[in-house]
Structure 1
Amino acid sequence: MKRHTVLVVILLAAWLLTACTGLRQINQLAIVTAVGLDVGEQPGSVKLSVQIVRPADARGQTGAPAGGTGEPIYSVSAEGKTIFEAIRNLGRFTSRRVYWAHNFLIVMHEDYARRGIADMVDFFTRNHELRMNTWVAVTSDKPEELISTVTGLEVVPGEAVDRLFRDNHVVGLAPGTNMMNLEEAFLSLSTEPVIARLQLKDRGISNKKPEEHGSIKQVELAGAAAFKRDKMIGWLSPKETRGLLFFLEKLDRGVEVVSCSNSKEKLTVEFNNADLKVTPLYRNQKPQFQIRLTARADVVESGCDVPLEGIRTHIEEQVEQRLKSKIEDVLNKAQRQYHSDFLKLGDVFRNKYPVEWHRIGKTWDVTFSEAEMTVQVQAAIKNTVLKAAGSGIK
C-alpha cells in the first residue's frame, strides 16, 4: 500500500514540474495581429509583412497604465523564396519569436493572388498556431500599408478589420471569408474560391484640420475577388457581391433606395426575411437552375410627396428589379466572363443528381457556363409607416 502511495506522489510531482514547460512569456514573443503577402523583388519570391502588437503601448493608448511610450504596433517586412523562408528572414532583425495564435487577418496583394495562392493555403493550414477562423482578403493597395493603417476607433489595425468582418452582415457588400471556408472551396471539385476585398479610402476627417475632409485613409471592406482554382481572375463590384451573398451566406436583409412614382424624390426600403431557393434540373443532358428570391420590405425613409399606400405596387416592382439585377449581374460574371462557379451551384446540382454529376463533373467549368438560369424575385411591402432601419422602432 505504501509503495502505491509513493508512486502516486512521484507521478503527481512529475506532472506539476512539467506542466509549465510549454509556457511562453509575452515579453519574449512578437504577437502578430495581421499579415500581408505580396510578390517580392526577385522573380518568384514572396514579400511578407507582419503587424506586431506592443501590448504595453496598446494598453496605454486606451487610457490604462502603460510601460511604454511608443506606437501600439510595429510593422516589418521580409522576403524569401517561400513564405516560411520569409518568416525565418524576419528573425534576422526581429528580436522576438513570431507568434501567430492571435492573428486576425491575412491580406494578399492582387498581383500575388493572380500568381496563385496554393502556397499560402498550404502553409497557413499546416501552421498549428494559426486559427482557421482567421480572415482572408485581397487588396489592390500595398498590403504593408493596409495592415499598418490605424483607424480612428481601434488601436490595433488588425483588430479593426476583425470587427469590420464581424459586422459585415449589416452592410452585406463583401463575403466573410476565413481560412476555413477558403480551404473548403480550394479543395472542392464543384466550387471555386471567392475572397473579400479590402481597400484604403480617404474618408477620415482630422480633428485638427476638419476642413481637409478625407485627409485620413481608412480601411474599407467592399467587393470581392473571384478565383478559378488557385488563381485570382477578377473583381466583383459591391453590387455584384450583394447578389453573391444571397448564394453563399443566405443574406436575409439589406437596404435599397428607389424612386417615388415618376418623380425625382427618393425613398428607402429595408428588405428582410429574404430567402433564396435554388432548384436544379437536368433536362436534355444539360443542367438548369431555377432561382427564386422572396423578401418582405419596410419603408424606413421617405421623401415622397404622395401617399405611400398609393404607390405600394410601384415600390415593390422597383425592389424586385433591383434585387433581380444584382443576382443576374453576378450570374453573368460567373458564367459569361469568368467561367468560374464560385456560387456553389455545382454543390447544389451534385447533391440532387449524383449520378449525372459523375458524368459531367470533370467538365463543370464548361457545363456551368452553358447552364440555363431562371431568376424570379418577389418582394412585398409590409409596412409603409416610417421605421428606423434595423432598430425595430415603429
Structure 2
Amino acid sequence: MSPRSGILILLISGLIFIEGCWDYRELNELSLAMAMGVDKDDDKDGFRVTFQIVNPKEVAGRNATGRAVPVAVYSDTGQTIFEAIRKVALKGSRRINLQHLRILIMGESLARDGVKDVFDFMERDHESRLTTRVYIARGNDAETVLNTLTLIDEIPANAILGKVKLSERAEGENYEVRLIDAIHGIFRKTSGLAVSGITLVGNAQTGPKISNMQHTSTPAELDIAGMAILKDGKLTGWLKGDNARGVTWVNNKLKSTIVNLKCKPKGKISIETYHSSTKIRTDVRHGLPIIHITIRQTGKVAEADCPIDLTKSSEIRNLERKWEEETKHVVVDAVEAVQRLKSDVLGFGEAVERERPRAWKEMKDSWEDLFPACETEVTVKSKIMRTGMRTKSSMSNK
C-alpha cells in the first residue's frame, strides 16, 4: 500500500465518526428576529432593546385557531445592550437568532445622545449581518415603531424595507444604508452618516393591535421621514424634501426622481430621471479644498401641462437646460444645508484623501473647520431620451 493510499483511508475512517456541526440548533429551537430596536433607558441610565420576531405558524398559514398577530415583539432593559438582549431572550421559549435580522432602528432620543455603543456591539457580535439596513425613528422611539402592525406586508420589518425601496425609486429622497456602511461613517473621524428616518403617523395606541390591519385606511402607519444627519455618532439634524434628494444625488444613490419645470405662458412639465451618475473630483487652491461635482442624467418627459412641441430639437434642448439648472439648484442647496450641520455625509474628505493625499495630511486634523467652508462647483449634464407616447402636448391646440 502506498503512503498516499494510507492517508486516504485514514481520512475516510475519520469521516465515519463525524456526526455533524458541534453547535448546530434545530430551527424550532430558535426565534428568528427580523428587526431590532434600541432606545435610551433614562431610568436606569442604560438601553432598552426591542426585537420583532416572526410568528412562523401565522406567516406559513398553518394557524388553526384563527387569525393571529404575525409577529411577536419583546422588549427589556439593561445597563448594556448585551445585557438587555439577554433579558429579552428570557421572555420567550427560544433563543433569539440575529442571522436573519433585516433592519436596525434607533430611537431619536438615543441618536441625539450617541449611537456608537450600538454599532460597537453590532460589529462585535458574530451573528450580526453586515447587510442589515439601519434607520432612525424620527420623533419617536424604536419600540413604538416596531410595535406597529402594517396592512399589506404582514411583517412590519418587510413593510419598512419596501417603503424605503419605493421612496428610492419614486422620489429619490432616501436610500438604504447597510450596517457595514453605517459603521464606516460612524467611526471615521472625518466623515459623517446620513440615515433614512422612519416615523409613526396616526394613533400610536392603535398601532400594536390587530385591528390596525382590519381597516382600508389604517389608523396608525409607518412612513418615511427624511434623512437623519449624524456627526461623531450623534444626530445633529434632519433633512427632507429637496435637501434630502440633493444628498442622494451627490452620494450617487439616486435611482429615480421627478423634476417639475415651469413653462411659458403657464403650466408645468414633469421630467422623470431614470438614470443618474455623480462623480466628485477635488482640487486645492491656496491650501483650501475645492470640490467639483459632476452629474450626468438621462430622463424622459412624463407630463406636459403646457403648449409645447416636442418634435423640435430646440424645445428639447431648452428643457434640458432648465432641468440642469433645477438639478444644480437642488444640489447646491443640499450641500449648504449639510455644511451648516458640519457633518461630511457627502464624502468630500474621503475624496480629498484619495486624490490629494499630501494635501490631506495637512487638512485632516482641521477638517471639521474646513468642511463647512469648502467651495463647491456643480456641473450638470442632462439628456432627454424620450417624450412619451405623443410628441405634442394636449394643450398645443388650445
Cα distance in 2, alignment partners of residues 54 and 47 from structure 1: 22
List gaps (5 residues or longer) in structure 2: 391-398
Partner Cα separation in structure 1 for residue 70 and residue 104 of structure 2: 19
Q: Corresponding residue for 1:180?
A: 180
Within-5 A mapping of 1:217-366: 217-251=220-254, 253-263=256-266, 265-308=267-310, 309=312, 311-335=315-339, 337-366=340-369
CA distance in 2: counterparts of 1:325 and 1:87, whole angstroms: 46
* Distance verdict in 2 for CA 1:283–1:150, change over 3 Å: same
1:130-149 to 2 correspondences below 5 Å:
130-140=128-138, 141-149=140-148
> Aligned partners of 1:21 and 1:277: how far apart in 2?
49
CA distance in 2: counterparts of 1:185 and 1:273, whole angstroms = 26
* TM-superposed deviation, 1:178: 1.2
**In 2, Cα distance between equivalents of 1:252 and 1:288:** 27
Structure 2 residue 190 is the aligned partner of structure 1 residue 190: yes
CA contact (8 A) 1:32 1:98 kept: yes
The within-5 A match list for 1:161-180 is 161-171=160-170, 172-180=172-180
Q: Tell me, yes or no, if the aligned pair for 1:260 and 1:315 is still in contact at 8 Å.
A: no
- Identity rate, percent: 25
Amino acid at match of 2:37: G
Letter in structure 1 aligned against 2:295: L
In 2: Cα distance, 1:215 partner to 1:187 partner:
39
Cα 1:356–1:202 change in 2 (3 A) is same
How well do the aligned residues superpose, as a CA RMSD in angstroms?
A: 2.8
CA, structure 1 residues 276+91, in 2 after alignment: closer, same or farther (shift >3 Å)?
Answer: closer
Q: Look up the match of 1:115.
A: 113
Q: Deviations over 1:119-147 (max 9, x none)?
A: 10010111111110000000122322222
- The gaps in structure 1 that reach 5 residues or longer are 388-394
SS in 1 for 2:37: strand
Mark the CA change 1:316 to 1:3 in structure 2 (over 3 Å): closer, same or farther: closer
Name 2:73's counterpart in structure 1: 75
What is the alpha-carbon distance in structure 1 between the residues aligned to residue 127 and residue 386 of structure 2?
A: 50
- After TM superposition, give the deviation of residue 24 of structure 1 in Å: 1.3
Q: Given that residues 222 and 238 in structure 1 are in contact (C-alpha distance below 8 angstroms), is that contact kept between their aligned partners in structure 2? A: no
- In structure 2, relative to structure 1, the CA distance for the partners of 1:375 and 1:323 (3 Å cut) is same
- Name the CA distance, whole Å, in 2 between partners of 1:37 and 1:76: 12
Between 1:157-166 and 1:97-106, the stretch displaced more is 157-166
How far has the Cα of 1:81 moved from its partner? 0.8
Name 2:157's counterpart in structure 1: 158
Give the drift of 1:4.
Answer: 7.2
For 1:163, the aligned partner's letter is G
How far apart, in 2, do the equivalents of 1:226 and 1:130 lie? 24
* 2-structure distance, mates of 1:3, 1:291: 66
Partner of 2:59: 58
The verdict on how the C-alpha distance between 1:10 and 1:116 changes in structure 2, with shifts beyond 3 A counting, is same
TM-score using structure 1 length = 0.86
TM-score by length of structure 2 reads: 0.86
Residue by residue, what CA displacement relative to the aligned partner does 1:214-272 show, whole Å, maximum 9, x if unpaired?
A: 54333223421111111111111132121112222342542112233231x23211124
Work out the CA distance in 2 between the residues paired with 1:250 and 1:196: 13
Aligned residue pairs, count: 376
Contact 2:252/2:277 (<8 A) preserved: no
